[in-house]
Amino acid sequence: MPGLNCLEMRNISIAFGGFAALSSVDFRIEGHSVHALTGANGAGKSTLMAILSGAHSHYSGEILLDGEPVSIRTPRDARQLGIHLVQQEVDVALVPQLSVAENILLDRLAEPGHRYRWGEIRRQAQTLLAQLDVALDVNRLVERCTLAEKQQILLARALSHHCRFLILDEPTAPLDQHESERLFAVVRRLKASGIGVVFISHRIHELNAICDQLTVLRDGRLIETGPMAALSGEQIVEKMLGHQLTDIFPARREQQAQPLLLAVEGLHDEQLLQDISLRLHKGEILGIAGLAGAGKTELCKALFGASKSRVSRGELHGQRWQPRSPHDSVSRRMALVPEERRKEGIFIDESVAMNLSVSADDSFSRWSLFGHRQAWRWAEQIIQQLQVRTTGPSQTLRRLSGGNQQKVAIGKWLRNNADVLIFDEPTKGVDIKAKTELFTLIDNLAREGKGIIYASGEFSELVGLCDRICVLWDGRIVAELAACDVTEETLLLYSTGGTPA
């Protein structure tokens, strides 16, 4: 029957200080299905879903549940109707010093007059996790959980309420391939139990794997809605961008024998890394492949001197070298674009220009602004180059969409005149157009003779962009391969500890 078991948004518009973030958008989620919501960074996905979860009250338009008009103006309204949102930044919703069980039932515990019985809480938490079919020790402190586990806690929390519609905002951005597949299994279970799921993602192959319906937004407008299977990957990208995107990766550079920039032998750190050896030449892009926990971030930090490590032999620019400190690395013309960019050195309540003008070495030691005019010009250049969607250099970062904050964070690290650049998972949460821009930028850096280390769990990107790829598994390099004759499957095999038959 039309209207039954469905949540419908009609003619939704919202503006922030004169900027129309959404204009007359219609959106409809059915129970028992998974609905993909996609679009470029800043298209309005999070804003549309924030409205459904009661985070904004100043929108216009109508919302209907099972065909009846409902009012959603506060988070409480949304919860009472059974609508729950799991945000991309899972940490903001969790209390790290409490156990898994307490975090799952946090809303219950906060209810006035609640009587705290540990045994009861544990049992309820275990039942909820069992519904998701995940094994997680409910006694463990949340601060000791991985990102994937933290997501499971929030999913279990949503189920602890009456939950009919569940919104997942870029849930797979921080997950590796295996963790994502586990999440898909959970999503399928939720769907089978009758829940309508909204799944926001920039990875089109993922949408294909689990979604039934698809909606594409562009510049705050509805561009397409219908069955997932009706459009090919290319057609979806075209709808997102308004034009075709044929070449995602730059053309391969000619590889000639180039002088060595950096050589490391026998690198160990105090926890995970063992006997790492690698070499990076001028004009080369060296990929570091690995799943979550393999040691990619640890390796990037160790090379940059941001964590303690020992190297039996090291050479940088033809001189003997040991990683010492970020400050020392910067003075030796190294740069690191760290993975946890949002935590490590962006200032959410400052302007885009201010964020871009605090340079990499300054943010490790002290603040210093370079000339105002220079800062402004640099900001305009990065906004252009990385296609940051903003009203201009003076806009505060908080007002930018997630992916656009990410681009500013990347831009910030590109200022110092480094010739060994380390990128740790730079494309998380970034839309396909911006990825392409970023690849071009990295490729140009290599053409200028810089050496790039590119760590990622996105194997297709490594194959498309890099010259050589080292695969990390359990803190060790288990394979070194020329990118031109390697496949994603091979990288996955090595990165799970296997070897080709």
Ligand X SMILES: Nc1ncnc2c1ncn2[C@@H]1O[C@H](COP(=O)(O)OP(=O)(O)OP(=O)(O)O)[C@@H](O)[C@H]1O
In whole angstroms, the minimum distance from the beta carbon of 449 to Mg ion comes to 37
In whole angstroms, the minimum distance from the beta carbon of 26 to ligand X comes to 16
Instruction: Order the strands of the 260-269 sheet from edge to edge.
Output: 276-281, 260-269, 309-316, 319-320
Asked if 16 interacts with ligand X (CB under 6 A), we say yes
Residues 280, 261: contact at Cβ < 8 Å?
yes
Instruction: Give, in order, the Cα–Cα distances in Å from 50 to each of 47, 191, 201, 376.
Output: 5, 21, 15, 32
Whose Cβ is closer to ligand X: residue 205's or residue 320's? Answer: 205
Mark the segment that binds Mg ion (CB under 5 A) among 127-135, 213-221, 361-369, 399-407. 399-407
Which one of ligand X, Mg ion, none is in contact with 16 (Cβ closer than 5 to 8 A by kind)?
ligand X
Which one of Mg ion, ligand X, none is in contact with 39 (Cβ closer than 5 to 8 A by kind)?
ligand X
First and final C-alpha spacing in the chain: 54
Please tell me the distance from the alpha carbon of residue 82 to that of residue 195, in angstroms, as a whole number.
Answer: 10
Please tell me the distance from the alpha carbon of residue 444 to that of residue 64, in angstroms, as a whole number.
Answer: 50
Which one of ligand X, Mg ion, none is in contact with 404 (Cβ closer than 5 to 8 A by kind)?
ligand X
Whose Cβ is closer to ligand X: residue 44's or residue 411's? Answer: 44
Residues binding Mg ion: number (CB under 5 A) = 3
Whose Cβ is closer to Mg ion: residue 43's or residue 442's? Answer: 43
Asked if 171 interacts with Mg ion (CB under 5 A), we say no
- How many alpha carbons fall within 13 Å on the CB side of residue 184? 16
Token couple for 13: 């518009």
Asked if 403 interacts with ligand X (CB under 6 A), we say yes
Which one of Mg ion, ligand X, none is in contact with 118 (Cβ closer than 5 to 8 A by kind)?
none
Asked if 160 interacts with ligand X (CB under 6 A), we say no
* Long-range contacts formed by 400-405: CB under 8 A, 24+ apart: 400/42, 400/352, 401/41, 401/42, 401/43, 401/46, 402/41, 402/46, 402/88, 402/170, 402/429, 403/40, 403/41, 403/42, 403/202, 403/429, 403/430, 403/431, 403/434, 404/41, 404/42, 405/342, 405/346, 405/348
SS3 363: helix
Whose Cβ is closer to Mg ion: residue 170's or residue 224's? Answer: 170
Quick one: which of 196, 323, 393, 402 contacts ligand X (CB under 6 A)?
A: 402
Please tell me the distance from the alpha carbon of residue 27 to that of residue 17, in angstroms, as a whole number.
Answer: 24
Residues 454, 288: contact at Cβ < 8 Å?
yes
In whole angstroms, the minimum distance from the beta carbon of 202 to ligand X comes to 7
Asked if 402 interacts with Mg ion (CB under 5 A), we say yes
* Sites for ligand X among residues 367-396 (CB under 6 A): 389
Token couple for 87: 């945000």
Whose Cβ is closer to Mg ion: residue 29's or residue 85's? Answer: 85
In whole angstroms, the minimum distance from the beta carbon of 37 to ligand X comes to 9
* Sites for ligand X among residues 20-59 (CB under 6 A): 21, 39, 41-47
Whose Cβ is closer to ligand X: residue 305's or residue 402's? Answer: 402
Asked if 46 interacts with Mg ion (CB under 5 A), we say yes
Q: Which pairing describes strands 213-218 and 33-38: parallel, antiparallel, or unpaired?
A: parallel
Task: Please give the residue ranges that form the binding site for ligand X (CB under 6 A).
Answer: 16, 19, 21, 39, 41-47, 389, 399-404, 431
